[in-house]
Structure 1
Amino acid sequence: MVENRPWLTVIAHVVLLLGLLVTAFPVWLTFVASTHEGTALTQFPMPLWPGRNLLENYGTILFSGAKAAGGQPVLLMLANSLIVALGIAVGKIAISIIAAYAIVYFRFPLRQTFFWMIFMTLMLPVEVRIMPTFEITASIGLLNTYGGLIIPLIASATATFLFRQFFLTIPVELVEAARLDGAGPIRFFRDILLPLSRTNIAALFVILFIYGWNQYLWPLVVTTDPSLTTIMTGINALVRVPDSEPQWHLLMAMSMLAMLPPILVVVVMQKLFVRGLVETEK
């Protein structure tokens, strides 16, 4: 029997509010800094309330860009990051679910060996294999292209493993019933496995979208064309301005804009994301 203890409820709410304050306060400071002039951020004390330059700062960074960082508008950087994040997320899910389907439902020699070889690639992140990956990308002419930004990152051992584990929980009777109903491999995959995997796909999409959105090292290495600059490399370019101080007000505005798409994806897909993480009965 669970006892009703009001003081525990009060403590829990106090802890939650403190956690919210610790988490939200830096974001609030970033927003405040993005609404002031650049000189206001070097004064003491630092302003804690929004200023008068909100529209000016965000308009400048969105449509004109910071001249010190190359002058590329952030709207273009956001579009590039969105294309890369969507391409990586969709590509990883598509390849992983097909690979898991083949491993679980098809019988072929060395099936488990191939699976463990895929799983072992978790020990080889892109930072470890960046030189050979760059050489291959350059040799097939994918430098300074969206394909070069996306294709080398779309394999995912983690997603393959998660889909495999889910497929193993599907009752054998369901597979046999589909076979008796005349469903071939493609129809079984399309009409049964994909609908059952909806919450898993949603949860992985959120995680992989944020992974693709936050990519920094690979876009920095594989692109030199300013029109392909992503938001993360753009932020770094604005921080590392040669021979001058960073334009902190524009930098903070860019950081606020960089946070919005991942937050929007999490908010829109929150229910499916949580269900995909906690559901055990399908």
Structure 2
Amino acid sequence: MKAPALRSPMRGHLLAHAVLLMGTALFLLPIWLVFVGSTLDSGAINRGDIGLLPRLEGLAIYPRLLSPAPGGVPVWRMLALSFAMALAIAAGKIAVSLLSAYAVAFFRFPGRMLCSWLLFVTLMLPVEVRIIPTFAVVADFGMVNTFAGLVLPLTASATATLLFRQAFVLVPDELVEAARMDGAGPWRFLRDVLIPLSRTNMAALFVILFVYGWNQYLWPLVVATDPRLDTITVGIVRMIGPESRTAWNEVMATAILAMLPPTLVVLAMLRWFVKGLTESER
């Protein structure tokens, strides 16, 4: 009986690459059209006359948007505020989640399992459910229209806490006993053992949490009514008015500028990001 012919590995590779290229094209085409639209005049966009090639003279809109604006908030200020906010949220979430997971995983105290379950339950509550009581707390502390009000309510993360906890419970008991025999206290054990073991997880979480902080829209819109505290996502929405009077080329150029910082952060930490998601150093 003749054995069935095996599928050629080259054919499988070509099919996989074809699907990958098709998905990449579908992902990049809208971004490319936004970039092309940013180089056109607003009238052409209103008429729908958007081609596939940008106008080189239209690239002058980018330095113009980044220059100081005498009558409003410049784009560079919104970009800087969003970057600082995303950086503070990512660092704060990692710090708070690391300490919370360390307490839940290694310390024995009454209600320890209850705390673990409460962390899990908070994952089921969307941001919209918590936004009114959170705003009330922020207002009572006088943090409305402040940078602290933008950042502090978003520094707690049940997801990151649970991820760190799952990583910590996998630490061998022998390693814990060896550290105890060497005279390592709780802080030294955290600093010299757990943090080095978790650095790839921290890098992966930093990328995810930075993008999360950068894309925040609802909370900055609620807690900051001062235009000087507009993030780039809020600023883009404020630039959109009546269709006939909206400078769509400026909106599209600002959207392209808003994509650059998170993209650069992801590319700069891509190796650590992939390693943190796929490998373990234990």
Give the TM bin, normalised by the shorter chain.
over 0.9
What pairs up with 1:177-192 in 2 under 5 angstroms? Answer: 177-192=178-193
Q: Deviations over 1:168-223 (max 9, x none)?
A: 11111011111111111101100110010000000111111111000000000101
Counterpart CA distance in 1 for 2:242 and 2:23 is: 38
Cα offset, 1:243, TM superposition: 7.8
Gaps of 5+ in 1: none
Q: Deviations over 1:119-163 (max 9, x none)?
A: 211122321111111111111110111100001111111000000
Counterpart CA distance in 2 for 1:18 and 1:55 is: 28
Q: Deviations over 1:77-121 (max 9, x none)?
A: 001101111111111110001000011111111111111112211
User: Does structure 1 conserve the Cα–Cα contact (< 8 Å) formed by 2:160 and 2:205?
Assistant: yes
- The aligned amino acid for 1:203 is A
Indicate the SS of the match to 1:109.
Answer: coil
Counterpart CA distance in 2 for 1:45 and 1:74 is: 26
Query: Are 1:245 and 2:245 matched, yes or no?
Result: yes
2:278 alignment partner in structure 1: 278
Structure 1 length as normaliser, TM-score? 0.93
What pairs up with 1:114-153 in 2 under 5 angstroms? Answer: 114-153=115-154
1:25 alignment partner in structure 2: 29
1:260 alignment partner in structure 2: 260
2:109 alignment partner in structure 1: 108
2:235 alignment partner in structure 1: 234
User: Does structure 2 conserve the Cα–Cα contact (< 8 Å) formed by 1:86 and 1:209?
Assistant: yes
Cα offset, 1:244, TM superposition: 4.3
**Number of aligned pairs?**
277
User: Does structure 1 conserve the Cα–Cα contact (< 8 Å) formed by 2:197 and 2:281?
Assistant: no
Counterpart CA distance in 1 for 2:163 and 2:206 is: 13
Over 3 Å counting, the alpha-carbon distance change for 1:243 and 1:4 in structure 2 is: closer
Counterpart CA distance in 1 for 2:201 and 2:54 is: 40
Gaps of 5+ in 2: 1-5
Counterpart CA distance in 2 for 1:104 and 1:267 is: 33
- The aligned amino acid for 1:264 is L
Query: Are 1:219 and 2:223 matched, yes or no?
Result: no
Over 3 Å counting, the alpha-carbon distance change for 1:44 and 1:257 in structure 2 is: closer
Among candidates 41, 62, 85, match of residue 37 of structure 1? 41
CA RMSD of aligned residues (A): 1.7
Counterpart CA distance in 2 for 1:265 and 1:243 is: 34
1:210 alignment partner in structure 2: 211
2:74 alignment partner in structure 1: 73
- The aligned amino acid for 2:202 is I
Cα offset, 1:273, TM superposition: 0.7
- The aligned amino acid for 1:272 is W
Cα offset, 1:71, TM superposition: 2.5
- The aligned amino acid for 2:253 is A
Over 3 Å counting, the alpha-carbon distance change for 1:243 and 1:19 in structure 2 is: closer
User: Does structure 2 conserve the Cα–Cα contact (< 8 Å) formed by 1:37 and 1:53?
Assistant: no
Over 3 Å counting, the alpha-carbon distance change for 1:191 and 1:72 in structure 2 is: same
1:173 alignment partner in structure 2: 174
User: Does structure 1 conserve the Cα–Cα contact (< 8 Å) formed by 2:36 and 2:50?
Assistant: no
